[in-house]
Amino acid sequence: MKLRRFGRTGWQVSEIGYGMWGMAGWTGSEDAESLAALQRSIDLGCNFFDTAWAYGDGHSEELLGETLRANAAKKIYVATKVPPKNRCWPSKREFSLDDSYPPEYVLEYVDKSLNNLGREALDLIQYHTWEDGWLDDPRTQWTIEMLRSSGKVRAVGISQNRWEPENGVRAVRSGLIDAVQIIYNIFDQNPEDELFPACREKDVAIIARVPFDEGSLTGTLTLDSKWPKGDWRSTYFVPENLKSSIEHADALKPLVPAGSTMAEMALRFILNNPDVSTIIPGMRKIRNVEANLSASDKGPLPAALHEQLRAHRWDRKPTAWSQ
Ligand SMILES: NC(=O)c1ccc[n+]([C@@H]2O[C@H](COP(=O)([O-])OP(=O)(O)OC[C@H]3O[C@@H](n4cnc5c(N)ncnc54)[C@H](OP(=O)(O)O)[C@@H]3O)[C@@H](O)[C@H]2O)c1
């Protein structure tokens, strides 16, 4: 597993990290399977884990806490998130700081996450939604400075809303934050336009999330794909989105190198970008952990294929169903 520098923190993190939403939020999760997959990832060199209080109201954090205790001798970087107080994903322009992240509420949730994880300090705490407008409220800066000086948090980041890479550029330029978490994959290349250059300028780490576009970039979805009621994917892959996602993914199939998979090509595409500090595929199964972590050994794609894939950029705007 190759390591990359995590922005100005200087941490050396695995270039493939671990996304922990599915194991405590999606249907079909089994704790025993998830714990085995987490352990396998550590054995294979993964040292960066992204969780959130909202993933099962602390359950994903508890699974990570158990894994940390079983691997106490290893340096493992823990990133988690404070849920918005109004529990609305994504945030909207009109939400105030009091609706979403009043200072005392943020501090309370840091304590809840520390408790779930069994740690005295978090490596990275992230706002689970973000509005650049919150920078106009002086309590945002106060809260972030308070978090750092409390000793409970080593770094602070924002997890940006889907398909709004521009809504975070001010936060990066403000110098207040250490990391951004953003959707970046073969389709969603637009963070390259403004966000990534700002991150380079300010030495802010980039966590590339949703590398498989929630599943379509694994090449396994079909028009008959269905999810149980209550699984958020049933509200995201509405017929309109499922159809266009499959059409866009099908167009990539002829480009998958012989002996490879679309999922591996999707991860290696992201590895081509040196701005990215770590990629966090969502995983619950050992076989997916092994496949995804091995992408690091294979490395970035050959330049010609990377260039061909760049033409598959698909710019999308938030919709009623995009969440
Ligand atoms: N607002 C936010 O802050 C936010 C929002 C979304 C995601 N995230 C973070 O980003 C992480 C990644 O996003 P995501 O999990 O939503 O989506 P994703 O990584 O794009 O896709 C996850 C899906 O891909 C499947 N998969 C993984 N590896 C595979 C492989 N090699 N072959 C075939 N299928 C494979 C997973 O299956 P299994 O689960 O069955 O293993 C799961 O169904 C999350 O876990 C979370 O940590 C943050």
**pLDDT digits 0-9 by tens, 248-282:** 999 999 999 999 999 999 999 999 999 999 999 99
How far apart CA 39 and CA 20 sit, in angstroms, is: 13
The verdict on the CB of residue 209 being under 6 Å from ligand 1 is: yes
**What is the Å distance from ligand 1's center to 213 Cα?**
8
> 211 C-alpha to center of ligand 1: Å?
7
Residue 56 CB–ligand 1 contact under 6 Å: no
| CA 209 to ligand 1 centroid distance, Å | 8
pLDDT value at residue 277:
98
Label residue 230 by pLDDT band (50, 70, 90): confident
Q: Which of 293, 277, 282 is nearest to 52 (CA)?
A: 282
Q: Which residues contact 187 (CB under 8 A, 6 or more apart)?
A: 213, 217, 248, 312, 313, 314, 316
Whether cis (ω within 30° of 0) applies to the bond prior to 197 is no
Q: How far apart are CA 228 and CA 73, in angstroms?
A: 40
Per-residue pLDDT tens digits for 136-195 = 999 999 999 999 999 999 999 999 999 999 999 999 999 999 999 999 999 999 999 999
Computed on alpha carbons and rounded to an integer, the radius of gyration of the chain in Å comes to 19
Asked if residue 207 has its Cβ within 6 Å of ligand 1, the reply is: no
Q: 289 CA to middle of ligand 1, Å? A: 11
What percent of the chain has a predicted confidence (pLDDT) above 90? 98
90 in contact with ligand 1, CB cutoff 6 A: no
State the helix-helix crossing angle for 103-117 and 59-70, rounded to 10 degrees. 50
CA separation for the pair 61, 30 (Å, rounded): 15
Is 280 close to ligand 1, i.e. is its CB under 6 Å away? yes
| Ligand 1 probe mutation, 218, 235, 279, 290, most atoms within 8 A of CB | 218
Question: Which among 201, 249, 185, 192 has a CA at the least distance from the CA of 223?
Answer: 249
